[in-house]
Amino acid sequence: MILHARLIIISLLVFIGLGAIPARADMDIPGDDEMKSFIVKKAYEKLERHFTAGEYRFDIQPRWIPNQLLQQSPAQVLSVQLSGQIRRYTNFEVVYNQKGSRKRAEIQLKVKAEQKLPVVTGRIRKGVKLKETHLAYQWVSIAQSGESYVASIEELIGKTLRRTLLSGQPIRKSYVSRDLIIKAGDEVNIFIKRRGIQVQVSGVAREDGAKGDRIKIFSNETNHKYVGEILRPGVIQWKSTL
């Protein structure tokens, strides 16, 4: 009798527990595959329009989609928009119509993004000037976070590598020399701004540099050495006094 009562209680708890399990976004429900496929298709189209056609390709898989959205019909979806940058797990916003009201849902898709980029065809040492024979196009897995890669072979020809690269490695902009606009020995003007007052002194560059680089300068006017950021040819913004 006691055993029978325990079995009844366990059965009731199991029944109640099953009834209380909330629906999860990753659970299969009738018709949800059609909605998932539709959202993935729209997300793909959005990425193709957002980026240059032919230079990028994407593989997209559902990762997290709210159950409430999966229960809707594809005909109710008004738009699928990219939220933020492309990452391994990328956020999108889905706007849909539900009983005459516009609703919004945040979803997350697993995105593998690839870009057709120049890569080196063999190991190339630091200091080598790049030639066309050093380079070839290849699909490269990318994520839009941080520094960008050089996108064309034409941009790289004649540039000097600032680090050694291995075969198949794409080339970031910081990996190659930039166009020098100041060379060591050039006369420059240094703008020094402190406590709201700006003065200009003349000096001589002690290092080569491109726009945005910080180089050392010596001024005969003040008999001081400075570090400044190159703004344009012959013009330096003071950063510190040595």
CA angle 75, 76, 81 (to 5 degrees): 105
Q: In which element (H, E) is residue 6 found?
A: helix 2-20
Place 12 in a pLDDT band, splitting at 50, 70 and 90.
very low
Q: In which element (H, E) is residue 33 found?
A: helix 32-50
Handedness of CA 115, 119, 125, 127 (dihedral sign): negative
- Residue with the larger pLDDT of the pair 133 and 194: 133
Listed residue (129, 180, 134, 132) closest to 158, CA to CA: 129
Q: Give the 3-state secondary structure of residue 185.
A: coil
Domain count, the chain: 3
Place 147 in a pLDDT band, splitting at 50, 70 and 90.
low
In a domain, 235, yes or no: yes
* Percentage of the chain exceeding pLDDT 70: 84
Q: Using CA atoms, how far apart are residues 121 and 93, in angstroms rounded to an integer?
A: 40
Mean pLDDT over 102-114 rounds to 94
In a domain, 125, yes or no: yes
pLDDT value of position 189: 94
Check whether residue 160 and residue 184 sit in a common domain: no
> Whole-structure pTM over 0.75, yes or no?
no
Assign residue 141 the CATH number of its domain. Answer: 3.90.1210
In a domain, 87, yes or no: yes
Query: 188-234: per-residue pLDDT in tens?
Result: 999 998 878 889 999 999 998 888 888 999 999 999 999 999 999 99
Mean pLDDT over 153-182 rounds to 89
Query: 164-175: per-residue pLDDT in tens?
Result: 999 999 999 889
Place 144 in a pLDDT band, splitting at 50, 70 and 90.
low
Check whether residue 90 and residue 130 sit in a common domain: no
CA angle 181, 183, 188 (to 5 degrees): 80
**Token code pair at residue 174:** 């910081």
Assign residue 189 the CATH number of its domain. Answer: 2.30.30.760
Check whether residue 39 and residue 64 sit in a common domain: yes
Q: Give the 3-state secondary structure of residue 204.
A: strand
Cross-strand pairs, 93? 81, 106
